Amino acid sequence: MNLTLNGASVSGEPAAGQCLRTFLRDLGCLGVKKGCDQGDCGACTVWFDGKPVNSCLVPAFRAAGHAITTIEGLAEEGRLHPVQQAFHDAQAFQCGFCAAGMIMTVASLTDEQRRDLPHALKGNLCRCTGYRSIVDAIGGVANVEADTAGAAMGASLANPFSEGIVTGKARYTMDTAIEGTLHLKVARSPHAHARILRIDKAKALAVPGVVEVFTWEDVPRRLFSTALHEDHLADPDDTYILDNVARFVGQRVAAVVAETEAAAEAGCRALMIDYEILPAVFDPEAAMLEGAPILHDNGGTAKGNIYVDIGGEVGSVADGFARADTVFENTYSTSRVQHAHLETHGTVCWKGEDGRYHLRTSSQGPFVTRAKLCYLFGLRERDLHVFTERVGGGFGGKQEMISEDLCLLATLKTGRPTTWEWSREDQFIGASTRHQMTTRVKLGAKRDGTLTAIEVRVVSNTGAYGNHAGETLGAALGSPMCAYRCANKKAEGFAVYTNMIPGGGFRGYGASQSTFAIECAMDELAGVLGIDPFELRRKNIIGPDDWIESVWRDPSDVGFGSYGLDQCLNMVEQGLADGARAPKPEGDEWVEGKGLALAMLDSGPPTEHRSGAVMSLRSDGGYHLAVGSTEMGNGSVTSHRQIAAAILGARACDIAIINADTDETPYDTGTFASTGTVVAGKAVHLTALALRDNILGYASRNSGQPASEWTIEGGSVVCGETRIALTELHAAGTREGHRFEAKRKAYLSPRTVGFNVQGFRVAVHTHTAEIRILQSVHAADIGALINPMQCRGQIDGSVGMGIGWALMENMVYDEGGRMVNPSLRNYRIPAFPDLPRNQITFADTHDAIGPLGAKAQGECAINPVAPAMANAVANATGARFRHLPLTPDRIFSALERRP
């Protein structure tokens, strides 16, 4: 058939049931993205005869004779379309995966639609930005500042891959064409707990195009953990690549590789799998009881289904409660949620002409992934190359090796390239989630509000596999228990195996869950005592001279590189009092209230974490920076360039950067646990300093002037009146055999701490239970701001994600453990109409530990959001909701009953 594609006549023959999205990608338009493939996210938006459509929903055959415009066709004569330029100037993206579809939608809007953005944009989901920067772009607001030599630190500079992102040329994991690749699909268990008695491959192998079928009998029988950490002992070895026992609905049971996705799917359907159904348990309390079905018999530390239990006490809570005038106790729970990064998991693996195996993947930790693959398959590290190009969001979901192993297995067994692209349903039923936790909090206080004892008991449902359960439980009992000064603290926690989908790493990492409980309980205590919630916190918060202590006496490597919690509390209190807000809707049925919560988080994990960077001066006077850490929308490539530019007196654009590639960059544990700035950034900082010393040292030797007299300014080294261009210096040095190169490594210790405080003003409809956010105020103590625009963006994104967790997101299961809503249509993440514009302020702090005074910033901002919302709703309605999410159908009956 013939069509007009971006102004040119093209012809092609789509498959009968092919959708326009994949047909356009086959024609080379890789800017057309897949976020959901179901019409819910808008990442695949193109124009059909000038009208925007979700190309995943359009039958490809319908395009015959019509004109299709994709993101690749938007710019004319090499000039960005005004909307592309606006998205660039506002930096209206973070990972950038949604940007092409978002731009195609915005560029199509009529004036009338632009006046009603909630309707106009509700069909385009962005998981990173909270939509604020997108509003900026539409309003013509430029957030980007000029890139000036010597002024990189603290400047709001653009992402170095911006132009590719707004033009659709940036290459995400699946945006590549590998000649002759096989496609992999998995058959997943329909049962929550079952032993696999037999898998008959014959019918599957008979499907035309199917090349191989792999089952538990075809994989190395080695236990491992899918969780990525530097120390592989941090997580339990309880998982096989493919197992003969299924422990949750959705566990992969067999993998089929075929010439086409269609054949691989048909092969999965044709597999005959005999199961012996085993009793299942879904509730962690039930799973801890005598007689519960046991999930794992692998030995290790598990006691029954308790994968790990940890606890501790400082002082004596018994004494503390005895001395209290008031003891408050209640139980709070948080829901299981999915990261919903717009780019699904996926890997492309091939054997190169160099005889090595190459994996292009969507990961937050390519180096640890390589190490795990080497362990599983008995390979040498030098035979494996794992890398990312652009990654479309992570949020902890890609701190997990769950797509790479099967691709490598298939390539090892067949010798053929293998591609596995996950569907959105795969994400919901087969990836990881935020651990569902239930937390009992008991607080003792004097009449004046002084805390005398804090006790918590956390039960975490880790699901079928342990992966991040120990570390998230540790985090739940860690920073949130440090935030308040109290002589008597006690905590115990249990991470329990059940036949649910596994929990995993997720922004906030266990601390979010216990922060919800503790911050709600503090609010309730304030109510009982009749003390203003801000005052109760001020009375008890940890101060800069206090010992940072949770429930363990051992010294830790956490210290105050800076302290700004007091400032944050003041800023939020003042913001709620004075700041701009939407008026309460008219009518007696609307009630208004406000609430706050605070959060404290160590900048970086207690586990081992290290990173390295290599930097060189090039003959053209520019620099090359290679750093191992991953960029998935967190902004680290931008901030790393700025750190280096600041040290070298350069413009950020003078620094070419490559990241997250086991061949091309030094080792990095991975970008997770708030390490992008404080570990990888520190490595970049040290490397840039070393390269500066190298350059100035050469200038000094060459001139006879001491190195201390020389500086780098823009493209030159300068000493008094003498100015030598870096190109000239490089040429001279190279002639003499000097190498303008440096490499440094960074390790995370000591660690500093950051703080975030969130305030909400809400209106609640007492009949429909609709919650409207009238005002959202956030204050962050994250040290010096390397890139203020990015820092705001991380907070906007965190607040948005936190609102989703608080108000709407919930993975719902039937009694058999099957997820009821595994799609973005039925598992709603915040869309444009759901999120407010946040008022964000920063404490004036400069950190003594973090690089250039900066602290971690991508993670902690989510932690106070849900409790601040629950507190605001309680303040408005007089009804307290202790279990997330606060959807109208879960809260309306309590509103009706209220006095």
Partner 1 sequence: MNLNTVTEVRRPATAEEVVDWRDGFAWVGGGTWLFSEPQADLDTLIDLEGLGWPPLVASDGGLEIAATCRIVQLHEFSGPPEWTTVPLFRACCDALLASHKVWNMATVGGNICMSLPAGAMIALTSSLEGVATLWPRAGPPRRVAVADFVTGNHANVLGPGELLRSIHLPASALAKRFAVRQMSLTHLGRSAALIVGTMAAVDDDFRLTITASTPRPVQLRFEALPSAEELRGVIDANIPPDAYFADVHGSAPYKRHLTYYFAEQIRRELARGEA
Cis peptide before 885 (omega within 30 of 0): yes
Decide whether 19 or 228 has the Cβ nearer to partner 1.
19
> Contact, 505 vs 400, CB < 8 A?
yes
Q: Of 719 and 831, which has the nearer Cβ to partner 1? A: 831
Q: How far is the CB of 292 from partner 1 (least distance, A)?
A: 28
Q: Which residues contact 760 (CB under 8 A, 6 or more apart)?
A: 594, 595, 596, 773, 775, 776, 777, 868, 869, 871, 872
Tokens matching residue 455: 């006790």
Tokens of 662: 């086991």
CB of 105 to partner 1, least distance (A): 7
CA distance 384 to 359: 8
- Pick from 608, 261, 281, 320: which is nearest to 450 by CA? 320
| Cβ at position 45, least distance to partner 1 in Å | 6
Identity of the residue, 106 or 598, whose beta carbon is nearer to partner 1 in the bound complex: 106
Nearer to partner 1, 794 or 887 (CB): 887
Compute how many other C-beta atoms are within 10 angstroms of the C-beta atom of residue 588: 6
- Which CB sits closer to partner 1, 1 or 379? 1
User: Looking at this protein, which amino acid is placed at residue 140?
Assistant: G
Whole-number Å distance between alpha carbons of 387 and 369: 10
Query: Whole-number minimum distance, CB 404 to partner 1, in Å?
Result: 24
d(C-alpha 888, C-alpha 834), whole Å:
14
Rounded-to-10 torsion of CA 196, 200, 204, 210: 90
Q: Whose CA is closest to 569, among 806, 874, 130, 868?
A: 868
Q: Indicate the residue among 568 and 807 with the shorter CB distance to partner 1.
A: 807
Cα–Cα distance measured from residue 620 to residue 475, given in angstroms and rounded to the nearest whole number: 47
Centroid of chain to Cα 850: 21
Task: Report in angstroms how near the CB of residue 773 gets to partner 1 at its nearest.
Answer: 10
Query: HEC states along 23-76?
Result: HHHHCCCCCCCCCCCCCCCCCCEEEECCEEEEHHHCEHHHHCCCEEECHHHCCE
Question: Which lies closer to partner 1 via its Cβ, residue 104 or residue 407?
Answer: 104
Rounded least distance, CB 122 to partner 1, Å: 5
Please state the φ and ψ torsions of residue 252, each to the nearest 5 degrees.
-70, 135
β-bridge mates for residue 69, sequence order: 47
Residue (17 or 291) nearer to partner 1, CB: 17
For residues 782 and 563, the answer to whether their CB atoms sit within 8 Å is no
Q: In the complex, what is the shortest distance from the CB of residue 22 to partner 1, in angstroms, rounded to a whole number?
A: 6
Q: Which one-letter DSSP state was computed for residue 388?
A: -
Residues of this chain that bind partner 1 (CB under 8 A): 15-19, 21-22, 37-40, 42, 45, 48, 51-54, 56-59, 61-62, 105, 113, 118-124, 260-262, 265-266, 269, 423, 767-770, 807-808, 810, 812, 820-821, 825-828, 830-831, 833-834, 887-890, 892-893, 896
- Give the number of other Cβ atoms within 10 Å of residue 738's Cβ: 17
> 17 or 583, CB closer to partner 1?
17
Q: How far is the CB of 770 from partner 1 (least distance, A)?
A: 7
Taking the complex as a whole, how short is the minimal distance between the CB of residue 201 and partner 1, in angstroms?
A: 20
Query: What is the SS3 assignment for 555?
Result: coil
CA distance 820 to 425: 11
DSSP H or E segment with residue 786: none
Closest distance of CB 17 from partner 1, Å = 3
> 619-624 contacts: CB < 8 A, separation 24 or more?
619/727, 619/730, 619/731, 619/734, 620/727, 621/654, 621/715, 621/725, 621/726, 621/727, 621/730, 622/654, 622/655, 622/656, 623/648, 623/650, 623/654, 623/655, 623/656, 623/691, 624/655, 624/656, 624/657, 624/658
743 or 890: CB nearest partner 1: 890
How far apart are the C-alpha atoms of 432 and 344, rounded to whole Å? 12
The answer to whether 884 and 873 have CB atoms below 8 angstroms apart is no
What does 407-473 look like in DSSP terms, one character per residue? HHHHHHHHSS-EEEE--HHHHHHHS-EEPEEEEEEEEEE-TTS-EEEEEEEEEEEEET--TTHHHHH
Instruction: Tell me how far, at minimum, the Cβ of 265 lies from partner 1, in Å.
Output: 6
Give me the least distance between CB of 888 and partner 1, in Å please: 6
> Nearer to partner 1 by C-beta: 542 or 831?
831
Whose Cβ is closer to partner 1: residue 245's or residue 807's?
A: 807
Q: Measured from the CB of residue 72, what is the shortest distance to partner 1 in angstroms?
A: 19
Based on CB atoms, which residue is closest to partner 1, 260 or 749? 260
Shortest Cβ 836–partner 1 spacing (Å): 11
Residue 140: CB minimum distance to partner 1, A: 22
**Residue 511: Cβ within 10 Å count:** 27
What is the spatial distance between Cα 547 and Cα 620, in angstroms, rounded to a whole number? 51
- How do beta strands 252-258 and 711-713 pair? unpaired
CB of 425 to partner 1, least distance (A): 9
Give the residue with the Cβ less far from partner 1, 265 or 329.
Answer: 265
